Structure formats: structure tokens, C-alpha cells
Amino acid sequence: MNDILRFATGWFKLPALGVWLCIIAACQEQPKEMPQNTTKLILHPTPEFNADSAYTFVEQQVALGPRVPNTEPHRKAAEMFLSAFRRFGWEVQAQDFEAIAYNGTILKSRNIIASYNPQAKRRILLAAHWDTRPYADMDEDKSRRREAIDGANDGGSGVGVLLEIARVIGKQQDSLKISHIGIDIILFDSEDYGQPQDEEQVAFKKDSWCLGSQHWAKNKHREGYTAYYGILLDMVGAKDARFLLEGHSMEYAPSVVKKVWDTAHQLGFGKYFVYEATNSLIDDHLYVNQLAGIPMIDIIQYEKGSFGSFWHTHRDKMDIISKETLYAVGKTVLQVLYNEDAAIAEQ
Ligand code: AHN
Ligand code: ZN
């Protein structure tokens, strides 16, 4: 009798776990309710975001070659970012560290941190990863899957938009000068060295992506650093990109998602910023949320399980980058920052 009971409960436990996993997966696919643009926002004046300039910043990165950790283009790119932020009048620092990749490779890594108004207490954090993938593991051509990709979109685009934001904010004087909030831009390194998707012999290693954000979240550049909230840009440059409501962003920072998407809609960028839920992703914002405790959202092209057909292939190069998309994202983020500065000025 006991044996039968044990057998019965044991038998029930296995499918029960499976059923739970399915429920969790199904829940993630369900659209989460979000009121669409019910709040009419005041759009405070901002300086112009120059899409040609943002595009040039992407081109300059790609021109160096793939920015894979432990390579010359990677070293050069870091120097280029440091001098660009300095030229734009931002305070800069490099956080150097050694990350250990999924396969044991030691990656000489650098998080690049630029600060505007470093003394201000109320801060907004913007971020993107700057390294590029050492593989094209999703490429159709199997013979080229172990060659590094250009990463114009994946790596280049987010950084291009953030450099342009830093440039225009840095050069303002008088009425368009941001003076109440502080802004930090972190370019995370070693995000894209995750385990290849076509490699089955290696055991799955948790947390093999996003090594730079994991390091920063555990070792902040300033003791006790925190921010009101953060916005991560990842793959924000492709033509006709659509940014959906990503699961972890909705879980940790729903009001920030609403603010950003409402702002985009009011600026006329509704075709890019779509009020539609998509599942939760492992990306730098996850570690900033979980380890650093700063609510951070992800603006990322991801829909129906896909980051775009060019993702992690050799087609991720300059010709998929659209100035219009860069503009929609850059102008939206700039508007959010200026609205935030005006809100604090009015207090
Ligand atoms: C994963 O593929 C697990 N996360 C997406 C993070 C990523 C890769 N962003 C750019 N490349
Ligand atoms: Zn990638």
C-alpha cells in the first residue's frame, strides 16, 4: 500500500512541475494590461537629436572592425568612447576588469562610464553594451559561424544613440542646459560573449551573457551609487524596428516603460514603440534590476521570439541601420531626460 502511495505521489510530482513551467511560459506570453497613452504629457523643449551624427557614431565603431574582447578593435573602440565623452564635456572613467567567459576564456573588459552633472543627487542611468559577438552562430552559412560579426545593430546602434545624446546635452548653454538632474551613461562590455546557440556539447551555463553589467552591479563605480531609474538600449538601429513591452521591464519598472512609450507616441513614433507585451529577456537591465536594485527598462527589438533575421549573423552590418529608427529612439530618450529635468525644476 505504501509503495503504491509513494509511486502515485512520485508520478504526480513530475508532470506537476512540467505543468507549472508551461503556465509560467504561457503567462509571459500573455499581453499585460497597459493603458495606452492616457496621460497627456507636456513636451518640454529639447535640443535637436542629429540622426546623421548618431549614424556616423555607429559607422565609426564598425570601421574599427568587430569589437570582440581581447582584440585590437576592442581596445581602440574603448579609447574612442573615452575621448568622445571627454570632448562632449562629460566626466569619464573606465572600469577595467577580467571576466571569465562560458568557455573559461579570460576577457580583458572595460565598462565605460560617463557622467553629466556628477554632483546632482537625482540621477538617470542610460546604458548599452559596446562589445560585439565573437560568433555568427545564427548565420545561414555554417562555414562562417565562428567569424566575428560587424555588430552594427547589436553593439553599435545603442552606443551611437547614446554618444549623440551625450554630444547634444554636453554642448547646451543657457535655457536648454540640463541643470537639475544628473545623467550617467554606462557602456557595458562583454555582454555578447554568451554560449553559442549551435554548440551542444557544452553544458548550459547560467549567466554567461551580460558579464559587464554583472560586474558593475556588484562593483559600482561610486560607493552607494543609485539612480531614479535606468534605460537600456539594445539593438535600436534597424530599419522598421519594433520595440515591445519586454517582460522584465514590465515586472521591475512598469511606470518607466509607460513614461517612455507614452513619450514616444506623443512624439509620433508609435510605429516603433508598440504597446504589446513580449516575454522576459536576459539582458543587461536584468542584472541592474536584480543586483543593483535600480529599476531599469530595455528598449530592444524583440518580437515573437526573434531579435530580427540578421541577429548574430553576418548581415548585422551598416546597411540594415536606419537613421529614422536611430532618431525615434534618440529623440524619445532625450525628451524623457528634458521632461525629467523640467519636472524637478518645477518642484
Ligand atoms: C539572450 O540571447 C539570452 N539575450 C539577448 C541579449 C543580447 C544578445 N543582446 C544582444 N545580443
Ligand atoms: Zn548579441
284 CB under 6 A from ligand 1?
Answer: no
Determine the distance separating the centroid of ligand 1 and the alpha carbon of 202, expressed in angstroms. Answer: 18
pLDDT for the residue 35: 63
pLDDT for the residue 38: 65
Determine what percent of the chain is predicted with pLDDT higher than 70.
Answer: 88
Residue 31 has pLDDT above 70, yes or no: no
340 in Cβ contact with 347 (< 8 Å): no
Residue 96 has pLDDT above 70, yes or no: yes
Per-residue pLDDT tens over the stretch 314-335? 999 999 999 999 999 999 999 9
Angle between helices 72-87 and 51-64 (to 10 degrees): 150
Give residue for cell 559577438: 133
CA 242, 194, 112, 152 dihedral sign is negative
Among the residue ranges 18-22, 117-121, 300-304, the one predicted with the least confidence is 18-22
Residue nearest to atom 10 of ligand 1 (CA): 154
Which atom from ligand 1 is nearest to the alpha carbon of 311?
A: 11
Determine the distance separating the centroid of ligand 2 and the alpha carbon of 313, expressed in angstroms. Answer: 10
Which atom from ligand 1 is nearest to the alpha carbon of 155?
A: 10
pLDDT for the residue 28: 45
pLDDT for the residue 32: 52
pLDDT for the residue 222: 96
Domain definitions of the chain by residue range: 2-346
64 CB under 6 A from ligand 1?
Answer: no
Q: What is the mean pLDDT of residues 215-220?
A: 98
Judged by its nearest atom, the ligand closest to the C-alpha of residue 233 is 1
Per-residue pLDDT tens over the stretch 54-79? 999 999 999 999 999 999 999 999 99
Determine the distance separating the centroid of ligand 2 and the alpha carbon of 251, expressed in angstroms. Answer: 23
Judged by its nearest atom, the ligand closest to the C-alpha of residue 133 is 2
- 117: DSSP letter: S
What is the C-alpha to C-alpha distance for residues 137 and 155, in angstroms, rounded to an integer?
16
**For residue 40, what pLDDT band results from cuts at 50, 70 and 90?**
confident
Q: What is the mean pLDDT of residues 247-259?
A: 98
176 CB under 6 A from ligand 1?
Answer: no
Determine what percent of the chain is predicted with pLDDT higher than 90.
Answer: 84
282 CB under 6 A from ligand 1?
Answer: yes
The best mutation among 150, 190, 281 to test binding of ligand 1, ranked by most ligand atoms within 8 Å of the C-beta, falls on 281
339 in Cβ contact with 229 (< 8 Å): no
Residue 189 has pLDDT above 70, yes or no: yes
Judged by its nearest atom, the ligand closest to the C-alpha of residue 301 is 1
Q: What is the DSSP string of 193-262?
A: -PPPTT--SSPP-TT-S-HHHHHHHHS-SSTT---SEEEEEES--BTT--EEEEHHHHHH-HHHHHHHHH
Residue 237 has pLDDT above 50, yes or no: yes
Residue 124 has pLDDT above 90, yes or no: yes
Determine the distance separating the centroid of ligand 1 and the alpha carbon of 227, expressed in angstroms. Answer: 24
Which atom from ligand 1 is nearest to the alpha carbon of 154?
A: 10
pLDDT for the residue 36: 72
Judged by its nearest atom, the ligand closest to the C-alpha of residue 135 is 2
What is the CATH code for 2-346?
3.40.630.10
The residues, ordered by sequence, that sit 6+ positions from 170 with a Cβ below 8 Å of its Cβ are 88, 89, 90, 116
The best mutation among 209, 280, 311 to test binding of ligand 1, ranked by most ligand atoms within 8 Å of the C-beta, falls on 209
Average pLDDT, the chain: 91
Residue 293 has pLDDT above 80, yes or no: yes
Determine the distance separating the centroid of ligand 1 and the alpha carbon of 110, expressed in angstroms. Answer: 19
Which atom from ligand 1 is nearest to the alpha carbon of 312?
A: 11
Among the residue ranges 10-19, 160-169, 303-312, 328-337, the one predicted with the least confidence is 10-19
pLDDT for the residue 311: 98
Q: What is the mean pLDDT of residues 246-258?
A: 98
Cα 129 to the chain's mean position, in Å? 6
Judged by its nearest atom, the ligand closest to the C-alpha of residue 302 is 1
pLDDT for the residue 26: 36
Per-residue pLDDT tens over the stretch 7-29? 333 333 333 333 333 333 333 44
**For residue 33, what pLDDT band results from cuts at 50, 70 and 90?**
low
Q: What is the mean pLDDT of residues 107-113?
A: 98
Which atom from ligand 1 is nearest to the alpha carbon of 133?
A: 11
